[in-house]
Amino acid sequence: MKDFSKTHPQAFGFAVTFAGVAFFFPDALVIRMAQIDTMTFAVWRGIFAGVVTLIGLALFVPATFRDWRSLFTSPALAIMLLQGIGSLLFLGSIGHTTAANALLILAAAPFLAALIAALTLGEKVSRATWAAIVAVFAGVAIIASGSLQSGGIFGDALALGNALTIALYYVVLRAAPNRNLLLPIAFGYFLTSLLALPFAPLTEPTLQQWALMALSGGVILSGGVALLMIGPRYLPAAEVTLITMLEIVVGPLLVWWVLGETPARASLIGGAVILLAIITHAAIRLRSGASKS
């Protein structure tokens, strides 16, 4: 039987990337539904994600543990740190602003990554990307202007900080494309727990809260990240950006539909600017790629 990833690499990449993004669709909703202190959620989410990832590696990629010394390389340590801090910032943003704001602001991550890669790796930034960067940050500014009135500006700042950690994460992966970084990612989950622990009251969760934290960490986070480490290797960056955009659209819609959390007008306007910029940029990149093939 032929390897589908080799005979149809683009279709395989699309399927795996879409599956990885789909894992994250209900994440904001699950966090909201738990109705528990954010830092307590962070502690248990990190533990569930780390344990499940280590078990998955032991069952399916046991050779990963033989190369444990790779945990002390620069890319692995960077991924560990960024994963640990990024998860904390994401949960903090969900706790201090609307789900729409927290997710829409994450759309800045690929464009921050382009800027950082230009500065650190010498990659060129096209005019289309520069235009998209300006438009995306204009959208973020519009969202933040609404939060100044509603009191959610701190959560927006945490979301922007999370976008920065994701951008740095992308750049590290780009600088070390052939490394298996799932082991350091697993320890990054545990780092999130350690960082959150001093600030967590650790009240006794209910059975429903335990189930939601296990779902968020042990299924959504660990499964989604594992798939997103594989899929984008087979797709152009523009296609990956378009697929990942689905999370920032579907996530807030689920929260609105189930919990009635309606985005503010500024969030809708800023989000529309961001989405238009992403779609336009991806379309230009895809057309450029097609003309070269």
Q: What is the pLDDT of residue 289?
A: 61
State the Cα–Cα distance between residues 236 and 37, nearest whole angstrom. Answer: 39
pLDDT in tens, 126-172: 888 888 888 988 999 999 888 887 778 999 999 999 999 988 988 88
Q: Which two tokens stand for residue 153?
A: 């500006």
**pLDDT at residue 236 is higher than 80:** no
Query: What is the torsional sign of CA 267, 157, 244, 38?
Result: negative
Contacts of 224 (CB under 8 A, 6+ apart): 20, 21, 23, 24, 27
pLDDT in tens, 275-292: 898 888 878 877 776 555
- Separate counts of helices (H) and strands (E) for the chain: 14, 0
pTM for the whole thing? 0.88
Q: What is the mean pLDDT of residues 228-253?
A: 79
pLDDT in tens, 97-123: 999 999 989 888 888 888 888 888 787
Collapse the DSSP code of 276 into the 3-class scheme (helix H, G, I; strand E, B; otherwise coil) and give the result: helix
Q: Where are the alpha helices (DSSP H) in 121-230?
A: 127-150, 153-175, 182-196, 207-214, 222-228
Per-residue pLDDT band for 2 (boundaries 50, 70, 90) equals: low
Query: Beta-carbon neighbour count of residue 251 at 10 Å?
Result: 23
